[in-house]
Amino acid sequence: MAWHQISVVSDEALASDLSDFFSDLGAVSVTYMSAESKPVYEPNIGETRIWEQTKTIALFELDASPELIHGLFSQKFADKITSDWHAEVLADQTWERSWMEHYKPMKFGQRLWVYPSGQEQEESGTVSLVLDPGLAFGTGTHPTTALCLEWLASHDVTGKTVIDFGCGSGILAVAAVLLGAKQAIAVDIDPQALIATVDNAQKNNVEAKIKTVLAEDFTPVAADLVLANILAKPLIELSENITSLVKNDGQLVLSGILKEQADQVNAAYQHAFTIQPASIQDDWCRLDGVKK
């Protein structure tokens, strides 16, 4: 199946309005990317921060009319500053080929492969996790996710209960179960993250062992292992909540932390955990420890 892909560049204040506009017209997905190759700055809890110059990209089914959408766009945003309107037909094969050029099978530790569909890896003594592009962040290619996957691949999680706090695509919950965890609870503030998590759990035949729940509906329980791959600010602000989710002698893995933020995050947890030295990849790091 092919799709209409429409993109337009605006400042960050207008990007969310553009997203709502495209969604109201029936877009099947709307995503953001930087129009200037600048990094996204850290948001507050519940806030979606984007780039000063943001490209908003919408995907429509083929029965949509790009000309009509552009006409409605021109009327609604006539007094706004936008640029680089672009519409094209995007074939599935084009998307898949582009994706596969950048996403190859990846091995974490000695026990875990993550790969896209059609690139299965069979190696004795390893488990394999299939993951394709989806609604939510998390493919294993970002250092923060990779650091967590490396931790999981090098620790025994057999029979443990796990909370994936801020689950994104659910990759950490799925990996934990594939590596032997008894159950994983995937928690996120974004309903799309839970949809993506269910989809990835089904692809890997572990849906029976993964429970998804919106953060607002989550009743705290104590787990053997808590994985929180979010960002430093919410990790600090939610430190007491996250700490309460870990059983005594349980394990905690924190990521989404820039190297220069490690000491601040460490300080928020060291009263309750014996924290190991930070593990660093590129500009990011992981903190992990055992509850005292």
Percent with pLDDT over 70 in the chain:
84
In angstroms, rounded to a whole number, what is the distance separating the alpha carbons of residues 203 and 222? 28
pLDDT at 229 over 80: yes
Percent of the chain with pLDDT over 90: 51
Q: Is the pLDDT of residue 210 over 90?
A: yes
Q: Let me know the angle formed at the C-alpha of 70 by 67 and 72, rounded to the nearest 5 degrees.
A: 110
Phi, psi of 163 (to 5 degrees): -115, 125
The structural domains of the chain, ordered by start, are 2-97 (3.30.70.120), 136-291 (3.40.50.150)
Distant-in-sequence, close-in-space partners of 171: CB < 8 Å, separation ≥ 6: 114, 129, 131, 138, 139, 140, 145, 149, 200
Candidates 280, 273, 272; CA nearest to 255 is 280
What is the average per-residue pLDDT within 206-225? Answer: 96
**Distance between CA atoms of residues 225 and 28, nearest Å:** 35
Kindly report, residue by residue over 233-289, the tens digit of the pLDDT: 899 999 999 999 999 999 999 998 988 899 999 999 999 999 999 999 878 899 999
Please report where in the chains the tokens 């989809």 appear, as a residue.
Answer: 199
End-to-end CA distance of the chain: 54
Tokens representing 197 are 């998590």
- Encode pLDDT of 121-158 as tens digits: 677 788 999 886 554 445 556 788 889 999 999 999 99
Token pair recorded at residue 283: 């500009």
Is pLDDT above 50 for 47? Answer: no
Which of helix, strand or coil describes residue 130? strand
Question: What pLDDT score was predicted for residue 173?
Answer: 97
Q: Give the per-residue pLDDT at 45.
A: 44
In this prediction, residue 105 has a pLDDT band, given cuts at 50, 70 and 90, of confident
Report how far residue 250's alpha carbon sits from residue 47's, in angstroms, rounded to the nearest whole number. 30
Nearest alpha carbon to residue 170 among 227, 118, 119, 125: 227
Which pLDDT band holds residue 2 (cuts at 50, 70, 90)?
Answer: confident
Q: What residues contact 65, with CB distance under 8 A and at least 6 apart?
A: none
Whether the predicted pLDDT of 50 surpasses 90: no
Q: Which of 76, 71, 63, 77 is nearest to 26 (CA)?
A: 63
